[in-house]
Amino acid sequence: MTASRAGPVEFNGGRRVSRSAIGAWLMFDWAAQPHFTLITTFVFAPYFAAQIAETPVAGQAMWGYASGAAGLVIALLSPVLGAVADAAGARKPWIVAFSILLVVGTLSLWFAVPGAEYAVGIALVGFAIATIGAEFATVFTNAMMPDLVDESRLGRLSGTGWAVGFAGGLVSLVVVLGFLIANPASGLTLLGQVPILGLDPTEFEGERASGPFTAIWYAIFILPLFLLTPDRKRRNRIGEAVRTGLAELGSTLFALKRHANAAGIFGWKSFELGLFGILLTITGTIGALIGGRLDDRYGDCRRAQPPYSCQYRDPFDRCQSRWIYCRGCPDQYRRRAFCLNR
């Protein structure tokens, strides 16, 4: 691809990276965010608590257990996979593998029909599998950042990724609320329309369709990353990277945190939580854009929390958080977390 077709280019280590390649990398956030916005938080989670589980309180507890189980897997494997991402080389094959988990997990949520014998198991297992796939795909996607821009612009790239992700979550939420999910009282969607595709509000097909919608959205919008963003060649042996990750695992502490669920506390349904999510997503998008530029301008993680600022995100944290590339630290510690919902 020539510079004239791709536009201005960035330079990193003597390599030319087109702006289209960087834009394609940003599309990963756009592709993956509906899992966190629609499934984890604002649509499917309250549907599970209110309609699948015996009671909202029991549903909230079971959803938390599934989230914790996925978090445990993420906690145990993140140091190893993080080291592999930094040391082993090519990232796209790993992203493909974990993307399959995300797509399969979210597709399965359609079959979580209220009253069905295996609805609880389908919903919880599908959610856990999709969460593991989304988080690990993110690990390898974020590991591509140093190959796209130089160190002085990592904060801006990371913040822009956050903003693009929040924007994708907002658009997907508006689409689902506007065309798929009907208000139980009126039978109409947020835009005053009858749900498309003949989705039956009495069977909660709009809420269930958020799973396949997330899978299709991801499969479409992840394609630019695979087609346009360059990948690196293999550098080190995977065995060496795994040993490094296992060594880090022994010294990494993870804390289990409990988060309240609006579906259980306020009795909110998918419609009310969706409106609330739109407001949160707009706020998060603005904050991500500003935060990334402030990071480039005023400093990195060492200035923010010396000397232990470079650490992994709490994998049990259920709010919408993302890895942020952290400069000035060893490769295996270069991802720390911002949580905009705290």
Q: Which tokens is 183 given?
A: 């208000």
Which distant-in-sequence residues (6+ apart) come within 8 Å of 14 by Cβ?
none
For residue 200, what is the DSSP state?
-
Confidence of residue 299 (pLDDT cuts 50, 70, 90): low
Has residue 148 got a pLDDT over 80?
Answer: yes
The average pLDDT across 253-262 equals 43
Q: Is a pLDDT exceeding 60 seen at residue 136?
A: yes
Q: What is the pLDDT of residue 291?
A: 66
CA pair distance 285, 161, nearest whole angstrom: 10
The pLDDT score that the predictor gives to residue 61 is: 93
Residue pLDDT, tens place only, 87-96: 767 899 899 9
Kindly tell me if the per-residue pLDDT of 227 is higher than 80: yes
Q: Which residue has the higher pLDDT, 78 or 328?
A: 78
The stretch 272-282 carries a mean pLDDT of: 59
- State the chain's mean pLDDT as an integer: 77
> Quick check: 39 pLDDT over 60?
yes
> What's the maximum distance between 2 C-alpha atoms anywhere in the chain?
60
Domain boundaries, the chain: 16-339
- CATH of segment(s) 16-339: 1.20.1250.20
Over residues 116-134, the mean pLDDT reads: 96
User: Is pLDDT at 102 greater than 90 in this prediction?
Assistant: yes
- Supply the pLDDT for residue 333: 36
Q: pLDDT tier at 278 (50, 70, 90 boundaries)?
A: low
Helix (H, G, I), strand (E, B) or coil at 15: strand
Q: Tokens representing 15?
A: 């390599």
Are residues 284 and 320 in contact, defined by beta-carbon separation less than 8 angstroms?
yes
* Both tokens assigned to 238: 């995977």
pLDDT at 199: 94
17 SS3 class = strand
Q: What is the pLDDT of residues 168-182, one digit of tens each?
A: 999 999 999 999 999
